[in-house]
Amino acid sequence: MPVLRSGARRGRANPNPNALTQTRNQRGAARNRRGAAAVAADDTAGVNGEDLNLKAEEIVLLEGGEENNENDFDEEGVGERKMNDFDSGAKSADKVPGAEDESAAPIPEKVQIVNSPVYKIERKLGKGGFGQVYVGRRISATNASDRISASSAIEVAIKFEHRSSKGCNYGPPYEWQVYNTLGGIHGVPRVHYKGRQGDYYVMVTDNKRPGYGIFHIMFIYIMSTEMVACIAIEAISILEKMHSKGYVHGDVKPENFLLGPHGTPEEKKLFLVDLGLATKWKDSSTGQHVEYDQRPDVFRGTVRYASVHAHLGRTGSRRDDLESLAYTLVFLLRGRLPWQGYQGENKGFLVCKKKMATSPEALCCFCPTPFRHFVEYVVNLKFDEEPNYAKCISLFDGIVGPNPDIRPINTDGAQKLIYQVGQKRGRLMMEEDDDEQPKKKVRMGMPATQWISVYNARRPMKQRYHYNVADNRLAQHIEKGNEDGLYISCVASCANLWALIMDAGTGFNAQVYELSPNFLHKEWIMEQWEKNYYISALAGANNGSSLVVMSKGTQYAQQSYKVSDSFPFKWINKKWREGFYVTSMATAGTRWGVVMSRNAGFSDQVVELDFLYPSEGIHRRWDNGYRITATAATWDQAAFVLSVPRRKPSDETQETLRTSAFPSQHVKFPGDGQIGGGIVALWSTEFGISPGVMMFSFCP
pLDDT tens-digit map of 422-453: 544 444 444 444 455 555 566 655 555 567 78
Task: Tell me: do 613 and 668 sit in the same domain.
Answer: yes
> In the chain, how many H helices and how many E strands?
15, 30
pLDDT at 436: 52
Task: Tell me: do 496 and 607 sit in the same domain.
Answer: yes
What DSSP string runs through 161-222?
Answer: EETTSGGGTTSS-HHHHHHHHHTTSTTSPPEEEEEEETTEEEEEE----GGGBHHHHHTTSP
Q: Give 620's contacts (C-beta < 8 A, 6+ positions apart).
A: 292, 383
Task: Tell me: do 596 and 689 sit in the same domain.
Answer: yes
Task: Tell me: do 409 and 479 sit in the same domain.
Answer: no
Q: Find the DSSP H helices in 484-627.
A: 522-530, 569-577, 615-623
Task: Tell me: do 518 and 598 sit in the same domain.
Answer: yes
Q: Which of helix, strand or coil describes residue 273?
A: coil
Beta carbons of 318 and 243 less than 8 angstroms apart:
yes
Q: Could you list the residue range(s) of the whole structural domain that residue 157 is in?
A: 110-141+149-206
Task: Tell me: do 606 and 670 sit in the same domain.
Answer: yes
Which residues are known catalytic residues?
A: 251
Helix (H) / strand (E) element for 480: namely helix 474-483
Task: Tell me: do 369 and 456 sit in the same domain.
Answer: no
648/179 Cα distance (integer angstroms): 45
255/590 Cα distance (integer angstroms): 36
Domain boundary among the residues 361, 391, 426 is at 426
C-alpha closest to that of 208 among 240, 230, 174, 238: 238
Domain boundary among the residues 190, 206, 222 is at 206
Rg of the chain's alpha carbons, rounded to an integer?
A: 29
What is the largest distance, in Å, between two alpha-carbon atoms of the chain? 100
Question: Does 409 map to a domain?
Answer: yes
Please provide residue 314's backbone torsions phi and psi, each rounded to the nearest 5 degrees. -80, 155
Question: Does 683 map to a domain?
Answer: yes
Whole-number Cα distances in Å, 430 to 244, 415, 446, 688 = 23, 20, 21, 31
b/e sequence 555-585, b meaning 16+ C-beta within 10 Å: ebebbbbbbbbbbbbbbbeebbeeebbbbbb
Partnered with residue 494 across adjacent β-strands are 497
Question: Does 101 map to a domain?
Answer: no
pLDDT at 167: 72
Q: Give 125's contacts (C-beta < 8 A, 6+ positions apart).
A: 84, 85, 86, 133, 134, 135, 157, 209, 210
The 3-state DSSP composition of the chain as helix, strand, coil percent (nearest 5) reads: 25, 30, 45
Q: Give 698's contacts (C-beta < 8 A, 6+ positions apart).
A: 492, 539, 585, 586, 630, 631, 632, 633, 681, 682, 683
Task: Tell me: do 577 and 634 sit in the same domain.
Answer: yes
Task: Tell me: do 169 and 299 sit in the same domain.
Answer: no
pLDDT at 29: 46
pLDDT at 143: 54
Beta carbons of 88 and 131 less than 8 angstroms apart:
yes
Task: Tell me: do 461 and 599 sit in the same domain.
Answer: yes
Q: From the centroid of its chain, how far is CA 68?
A: 34
Question: Does 28 map to a domain?
Answer: no
Total structural domains in the chain?
3
Task: Tell me: do 246 and 365 sit in the same domain.
Answer: yes
Task: Tell me: do 199 and 301 sit in the same domain.
Answer: no
C-alpha closest to that of 345 among 592, 676, 52: 52
Helix crossing, 225-244 with 369-379: angle to 10°? Answer: 30
Question: Does 48 map to a domain?
Answer: no
Question: Does 193 map to a domain?
Answer: yes
Question: Does 500 map to a domain?
Answer: yes
Q: How many CB atoms lie within 10 A of CB 672?
A: 9
Residue type, 163: R
Q: Give 308's contacts (C-beta < 8 A, 6+ positions apart).
A: 323, 352, 355, 356, 379, 443
Q: Which of helix, strand or coil describes residue 511?
A: strand
- pTM assigned to the model: 0.80
Which residues of the chain fall short of a pLDDT of 70? Answer: 1-58, 60-104, 128-130, 141-153, 170, 209-222, 417-450, 666-700
CATH number, residue 176: 3.30.200.20
Beta carbons of 258 and 401 less than 8 angstroms apart:
no
Residue type, 502: M
Domain boundary among the residues 392, 426, 460 is at 426
Question: Does 675 map to a domain?
Answer: yes
CATH number, residue 327: 1.10.510.10
- DSSP structural state of residue 18: H
pLDDT at 261: 77
Whole-number Cα distances in Å, 200 to 98, 192, 497 = 19, 17, 63
pLDDT at 24: 39
